[in-house]
Every structure is written in C-alpha cells, then in structure tokens.
Amino acid sequence: MSDSTPRPDEGIPAGDGGHLRDEADATSTREFPFEAGQVHAPAEGEAFHRRERRGLLVPVVAAAVVAALIGGGIGAGIAIAVAPRTTLTTASGGSSGVVINNPSTATAVSAVAAKASPSVVTISVNAPNESGTGSGIVLSADGDVLTNNHVVTLDGDTGGGTISVTASDGHIYPAKVVGTDPLNDLAVIRLTGASGLTPATFANSGDLNVGDSVVAIGAPLDLPNTVTTGIVSALNRSIAVASSAVPKGSSGSGGDTGGNGSGSNPFNFWDFGNGSGSSAQTQTNNIYLSVLQTDAAINPGNSGGALLDSQGDVIGVNVAIAGTNSSSSGQSGSIGVGFAIPSTIAKRIADDIIAGRTPTHGQLGVSSVANESASTGTVAGIKVSSATAGGPAAKAGIQKGDIITAVGKVAVTSYTDLAGQVRSYAAGTKVPVTYSRGGQSHTVTVTLGSTPSS
C-alpha cells in the first residue's frame, strides 16, 4: 500500500484502495501459528505476524528441587519455599523444571522462577496435518489457562485441534477452548479433571518502568520450564500482526494452504521446531497490539507464557519476537527484541472470557492516511482523513484534517500506534485524545466505541 492509502484507526488492512473502512465495518482474521513469532524490522504499513508451530511436544515434568527458602529479590526481598520434586527427563535426555541445587547461592531470579514455574504450563495442539507447542499461564486451581490465540488455532489453521497440557509437575491433561479473542491474540482453555494447580499472580503492568528486571518462563523450542532474564526495554509499543482467527466456514483441519505468512509483515510468528506440520494459512487481515518490549530471550514456544516482574508476578503474556530473517529458511531466534501483551489487558480479556462475556475493543471512528502529518512538517501524528459522522471522535469534536498526536499519555506517530493504543482499551472507556489543529494543540475526552471482534 502506498503512503497515500488511507488507514482506519483500528488497523483494517488495505484491500479496496482509497479510504479504508472504519473498523466498525472490518473483519479481523489473520493467522499465526503459535508460539512467539518473529518480527522483522517493520516498514511502515506492514504488519507483524507470529508463528511457532512445531512437532508434538514431548511430555515433561518438573525437575528436582531441594527444599529451601530463597531470600532476596531483584527489587524488594521475597522468600519462597521450594518443595522437593522428583526428577524426570524428556525424550531428549534433559531434565525439566526449576532446579535449585544450592539454596545458599540461589539468586533472585531463582526465587522468581521457583515461585512462578508451577503456574506456567506447556501446551500441545495436534491437527490432522500439523501440530505445534506453546505455553500458558494458570488462572485457576481447577484448570483455567491463559495463552495466545495463535497457539490454540495453530496460527489460524484450525479451530478443532486436539489440545493437551503438561503441568509443571509432569501431569498431562486434555483441554478444551473456553473462548478466544483474536483481536488481542488471547485465548482461555480449560483443563479436564484438573485440581490443585497454582494460579499465577498478576501485577499491574501500568506500574512498570523501562529498565525494570523481568523473567520469562515458557517452552521455547520444545524445552519446557525454560527461564530467561532481561529488562523492560520499552513500554506502550504498538505492533501489527496477521490475524490468527480461524476463517469462518473453515473446517479447521489444517493442511498446506500456502505461504509461511512472512510476506512484508514486520512482526511474524514463524513455523519453528520439528516442522511436522504444514505452513500456515495465509490471511489478509491484521490486528494491532499494544505491547511491552523486553530483551529477555523469547523464542518459538514461549508464546502464551509468562513475563514476570521481580516478585514473580505476571506483567505480560509473551506473544512475539523480532527477527533478522537472516537464515536461509527465513527464520531466526531471539535477537533480544521480544514483545508481551501487558498483564492489565490480558487479565481483563481473560476475565471476560471466563465470565462468558465477549471481550470488547475500543474504536475511535476515524480513517487516516498512513504517515501523513501536518503540512508544515512540525507535528508528528496521524492526519484524520475522515471522522465517522456520529462516531466517538466526531462527537468529541475531532474533524477531518486534525492531526492526532496522542491517545491517553501515549504519543502516536503511525496508524499502527493509533490502532494499537485505541484497541488496548475496552469499548466505552473515556480516553483523552490529543490533536493539533491550525498549529494549536487540543485535548478532548473521547468515549470509545466498539470494534467488531470478527
């Protein structure tokens, strides 16, 4: 799409030329295999697309830990009792779980991992012609688990895959999908016959600072209970990825539907691992996510797993990585640019799904021209091509020609920013929107409309 092609604020992909439909008219179906995908330095107007499919996951169990009390914390002190467990090995011969051999030398990261690892599970999805693995976060003792939509749909290829979940103690449970939110790439599954699981504790991601220490736990490359560390690299980042929603009318049986989804999309979820499945279905629609960025190593298989703060509380759901696309296969691992859906957004969506409510996503009600700023070049923002009559923006006084520069406290300089930030709010939320008109800055409160979920 050329720079002159108008973009809707909710990130509807171009398809009909000219002004794009406002999100109210758009559908959001795209696919991503599951597990953290790769992001290629995005060119403006491109979308990210995540994938991480691989072969059937080997059942794994939590490894031996010595009973201990681990003191200290990365920020404030934390003390965690670590109970003994039996060591088992995977088919590849490696032990799984968080192993504490010498409590006297255990670090604050050891404490975070020991606290949170029982709340992270490994998810295996199998369809007739493909399979994949990802991670999940335990929400309830009786088996509600949060993960990515692209994990349970194999990147949008199937709505009926067989799901099995391996808990940190090695117990394997069958699971069913409770509900999905393709627009935020989130899903909740429920384990059958589960009890006594350890629910994760969620922190307020709005309290994070750039530079805060973080720990990621998941199953990258079919290696469950893998712990990596880093910092919060950036907050309020926005990325675009291809939708992992299963197309309406699709049998969801998998199969070679063409393409690995890389295209020109900046953030991609690739097909990693054993490669027992076929390539994912190529879809045209994009979704736009507000994410936090981390340099903790995130790789295919980490998707749906936990990003944790120094107290072992969830601050994000790992969803994508940036990649250099330098390998001959067009795939690469972590380069220290990973992304997670903030915990405040993820928990809201999960609560809605579990309660039987349809998650909602904000809509501003404007169309925009990609990257068009003020004619003087002195204002960075998104120029409004049109404001839907009677829509949220129009009701607040925003007009054609205005330059939207911020949503809430977050500056927006591209349609990806605008769409990602607007969609991060629930419909009906009152949000300050700042815009420039005639060289003067104005801030109005907009009551967001609702973006259709499909």
What CATH number is given to the structural domain containing 352? 2.40.10.120
Domain that residue 422 falls in: 6-10+365-450
- pLDDT at residue 298 in the model: 94
> Is residue 418 a part of any domain in this protein?
yes
pLDDT score recorded for residue 331: 52
Angle at 151 between CA 38 and CA 121, to 5 degrees: 105
Last residue of one domain, picked from the residues 340, 357, 374: 357
Looking at the structure, do residues 283 and 411 belong to the same domain, yes or no? no
Domain check: are 173 and 39 in the same one? yes
- Determine, yes or no, domain membership for 165: yes
More confident residue, 377 or 400: 400
- Give the total residue count for the chain: 454
For residue 437, the one-letter residue type is R
Same domain, yes or no, for 340 and 434?
Answer: no
Q: Are residues 391 and 342 in the same domain?
A: no
- Same domain (yes/no): 108, 244: yes
**What confidence tier does 424 reach under pLDDT thresholds 50, 70, 90?**
very high
User: Which residue would you say has higher pLDDT here, 9 or 33?
Assistant: 9
Q: Could you say which of 357, 377, 407 is where a domain stops?
A: 357
Q: What is the pLDDT of residues 198-252, one digit of tens each?
A: 999 999 999 999 999 999 999 999 899 999 999 999 999 999 888 889 887 654 4
In terms of domains, do 326 and 443 share one? Answer: no
The pLDDT-based confidence of 100 (bands split at 50, 70, 90) is confident
Return the pLDDT at 427. Answer: 97
The domain boundary residue, chosen from 357, 389, 419: 357
Q: Is residue 91 part of a domain?
A: yes
Q: How many domains does the chain have?
A: 2
- Assess contact for 280 and 261: CB atoms under 8 A: yes
CA-based R_g, the chain, Å: 21
Structure tokens of 22?
């406002």
All residues at 6 or more sequence positions from 280 whose CB lies less than 8 Å from its CB, including other chains:
31, 32, 33, 51, 53, 154, 155, 156, 157, 257, 259, 260, 261, 271
Residue 16 lies in a domain: no
Residue 298 lies in a domain: yes
Token reading at 290: 């507000």
Decide if 18 is inside a domain.
no
Residues 209, 316, single domain; the answer is: yes
CATH of the domain at 421: 2.30.42.10
Please report whether residue 257 resides in a domain. yes
- Write out the catalytic residue numbers: 150, 185, 303
Angle at alpha carbon of residue 365, lines to 383 and 8, rounded to 5°: 55
pLDDT tens track for 21-78: 333 333 332 233 333 444 444 444 444 434 444 432 222 222 222 223 233 334 333 3
What is the rounded average pLDDT of the residues 304-331?
Answer: 82
